[in-house]
A and B are shown apart, each in its own frame.
Chain A
Amino acid sequence: MKAAVNQKLTEMGERDRLKELLRAKLTECGWKDQMKAHCKEVIKQKGLEHVTVEDLVVEITPKGRALVPDSVKKELLHRIRAFLAQHTNNLEY
């Protein structure tokens, strides 16, 4: 089922819409700036020349997940649920 739902999500363009929505909301609420500041610290720590993507990912992702404000999270969940309700009641469970 999960695969089917994911497929539907992508097909209908809802996934992209949700992505954009999330990005916009995160920028708006300052999450992005917070994360950038954190990145700066990491980079200064590791040294400018030797930073790799992996380093950043490892450092940033957990913090990023934690820093998402509740309102943004709630709204996104709501939208996902709505989408599912709208489009999956005809699927078999």
Chain B
Amino acid sequence: MKMEDMPLSGPDNTKLESLVHDIYSELVEDACLGLCFEVHRAVKQGYFFLDETDQESMKEFEIVDQPGVDIFGQVYNQWKNKECECPNCKRLIAASRFAPHLEKCLGMGRNSSRIANRRLASNNNMSKSESDQEDNDDLNDNDWSYGAEKKAKKRKSDKNQNSPRRSKSMKHKNGELGTIVTSEPYKYNFNTGISYETLGPDEVRSLLTTQCGVISEHTKKMCTRSQRCPQHTDEQRRAVRVFLLGPSAPTLPDADPVVENDGFDIPDGQTLMSRLQWEDSSDISPTDSASSKASTNPSDSRRPKKKKRPSLGLNSGGGGGGGGGSSSLTGGSSSSQSNISLSTKKKRPKLSAPSIPSIYDDLN
């Protein structure tokens, strides 16, 4: 468009330019005038100087730049070193810890009841087995969701790690279960803890999906911690599941894919026997016993359904893994103790002979 200006002659062009400038000046003056009116009105209406404060107030809120003090002039840890006497226990508590201490000391407030309940529940857990799921007062607590229950359990168990109470039961749970397994593999009637014997298979299954479930040698109870409880290995958990629910036990959330469901759905004892024989051939190496942290099935109560247990006898790796299945079975009974230790590892392989070597790879 501008190109069309080009052919204009000189004077016309300057005329045009001056025109343009005139228009521009008009516009600018318009703007200035507008501003003047605005300001004048503000002055006359009295709101022109509103955004300014007088000098005194300005001094009050001046930015402070001294060490040890924030820009408002406040001291940061003014109350840090002060101590208050608790009216309840008469102790001197630091000021910043005073409120939480009072909460616990007086037994009021949300946290204190939660902590007390947790402590009670964990105490019950030591003595009883997995009844804590119902005992958990957390269920009654409106603030807790179901998912938080697991967290609570985990935290509960974490909390107890440093307490003196932890010493006994926890340590023993991780101990060897060698003493437990005595009978022959196919006998299914090991000493059973009262705990899981009283539960039906569905209950067991549901419990095992949320809890660690590893059976303690001492108490014959299932571990009620979360699936990731640090005291038991995944191997143990798997072994327990196989033991309690049969070879087709559902996989643990973090279980190896290798193990678990190899498609074995054999509820029969006979098939179990055959599997036992296979197992025997796999010939567990002595390394198993060395590395085993067996804490599973100290007692195989649920003999009828759960085949897995018999493998205990089978896992006579320590016994030298006899040639025939039968021999291994007998051998198993004698070397039950070592079997137990191996059993945890063995549990997995039982699923099928071919899978066993791979399992050992995992173990080793």
Contact = CB atoms under 8 A, between A and B. Distances in A.
Nearest to A56: B36
A15 B29 CA distance: 13
B43 A43 contact: yes
Interface in B28-77: 28-37, 39-40, 43-44, 48-49
Nearest to B5: A85
B20 interface: yes
B12 A81 contact: no
B12 A64 contact: no
Contacts of B24: 73, 76-77, 80
A82 B2 contact: yes
A59 B312 CA distance: 105
A19 B27 CA distance: 6
Given A85-B5, A93-B12, A77 B32 contact: no
Size category of the A interface is 35 or more
A82 B2 CA distance: 7
Given A18-B27, A64-B31, A39 B2 contact: no
B20 A77 contact: yes
Contact of A19 (B4, B15, B30, B44): B30
A6 B318 CA distance: 109
A61 B27 contact: no
Contacts of B36: 39, 53, 56-57, 60-61
Contacts of A23: 31, 34
Given A53-B40, A80-B24, A60 B32 contact: yes
Contacts, number: 91
Contacts of B32: 35, 57, 60-61, 64-65
A2 B22 contact: yes
B323 to A, nearest CB: 94
Contact of A65 (B12, B28, B37, B43): B28
B1 A82 contact: yes
A61 B33 contact: yes
A2 B39 CA distance: 32
Nearest to B8: A93
Interface string B1-26: 11011001000100110011111110
Given A18-B27, A64-B28, A36 B4 contact: no
A24 B48 CA distance: 21
A64 B39 CA distance: 14
Contacts of B20: 77, 80-81, 84
Contact of B4 (A5, A68, A85): A85
Interface centre among B1, B19, B36 (most CB of A within 10 A): B36
A31 to B, nearest CB: 9
Given A1-B15, A39-B35, A56-B36, 8 more contacts: A2-B22, A9-B23, A43-B48, A48-B49, A57-B33, A65-B25, A68-B28, A80-B23
Nearest to B40: A53
